[in-house]
């Protein structure tokens, strides 16, 4: 087979594959920067505690209903609770089959400069502010929650929604957390 013919056969495959590679959009918050996937839709934060807020759309014709939500919370220096207290609270909002407790998956993903922990939970989820499930418990949900230790206070990125959709967006969530860096100082 000639090199030209082989190239013509391979090119459509490469082009088709590139459609699945999403570029990133830069985000800046507090004194930090990172990026999120381009298909996440920026929203106006619903409260002052939310530094960033995005709608994560479900793929057309796929599972995921009206999508998932990605938020970065910041409560101020020394606020927001310990990692352990947050894990306990998030865990209390989930139930497995037959009401069984859901065990979180906890992974250290930060750097020496910015320590970060990722917590993953999946099951029936009743999102609430405090301990225990809220009133609107939904089946087959997933929460990706992070605690990022910054000198200004902890950052709490979270994504929640339909389990399959959130699981499919895990890589973008982790990339956001791992990509958190101080913004470059501006020179006058």
User: What are the pLDDT tens digits along the chain (188 aa)?
Assistant: 434 333 333 333 333 333 344 458 999 999 999 999 999 999 999 999 999 999 999 887 666 577 999 999 999 998 998 899 999 999 999 999 888 899 999 999 988 888 999 999 999 998 765 555 557 788 999 999 999 998 889 999 999 999 999 999 999 999 999 999 998 765 56
| C-alpha span between 138 and 25 (Å, rounded) | 30
| C-alpha span between 49 and 128 (Å, rounded) | 15
| C-alpha span between 146 and 45 (Å, rounded) | 18
Report strand pairing: 155-162 vs 50-56.
unpaired
The angle at the Cα of 75, spanning 182 to 52, to the nearest 5 degrees, equals 60
Q: HSE (CB half, 13 Å, CA atoms) of 131?
A: 3
Q: What is the DSSP string of 122-183?
A: EEEE---SSSS--S--EEEEEEEEEEE--TT--EEEEEEEEHHHHHHTHHHHHHHHHT-EEP
Q: Is 81 in contact with 114 (CB distance < 8 Å)?
A: no
Each residue's pLDDT tens digit, 141-174: 999 999 999 888 999 999 999 999 999 999 999 9
Q: Is 117 in contact with 146 (CB distance < 8 Å)?
A: yes
pTM over 0.85: no
Q: Classify domain 23-182 at the CATH superfamily level.
A: Mog1/PsbP, alpha/beta/alpha sandwich (3.40.1000.10)
Q: Which residues of 15-37 are buried (b: 16+ CB within 10 A; e: fewer)?
A: eeeeeeeeeeeebebbebebbbb
Both tokens of 94, joined, read 């989930």
């Amino acid at each position: 087979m000639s090199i030209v013919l082989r190239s013509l056969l391979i090119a459509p495959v490469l082009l088709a594959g590139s459609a699945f590679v999403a570029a990133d959009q830069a985000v800046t918050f507090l004194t930090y920067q990172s990026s999120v996937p381009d298909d996440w839709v920026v929203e106006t934060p619903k409260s002052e505690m939310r530094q960033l807020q995005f709608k994560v759309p479900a793929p057309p014709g796929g599972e995921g209903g009206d999508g998932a939500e990605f938020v970065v919370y910041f409560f101020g220096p020394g606020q927001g609770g310990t990692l352990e207290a947050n894990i306990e609270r998030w865990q209390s909002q989930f139930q497995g089959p037959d009401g069984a407790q859901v065990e979180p998956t906890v992974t250290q993903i930060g750097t020496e400069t910015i320590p970060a922990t990722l917590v993953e939970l999946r099951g029936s989820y009743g999102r609430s502010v405090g301990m225990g499930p809220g009133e609107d418990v939904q089946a087959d949900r997933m929460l990706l929650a992070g605690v990022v230790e910054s000198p200004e206070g902890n950052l709490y990125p979270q994504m929640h929604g339909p389990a399959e959709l959130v699981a499919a967006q895990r890589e973008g969530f982790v990339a956001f957390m791992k990509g958190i860096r101080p913004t470059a100082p501006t020179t006058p």
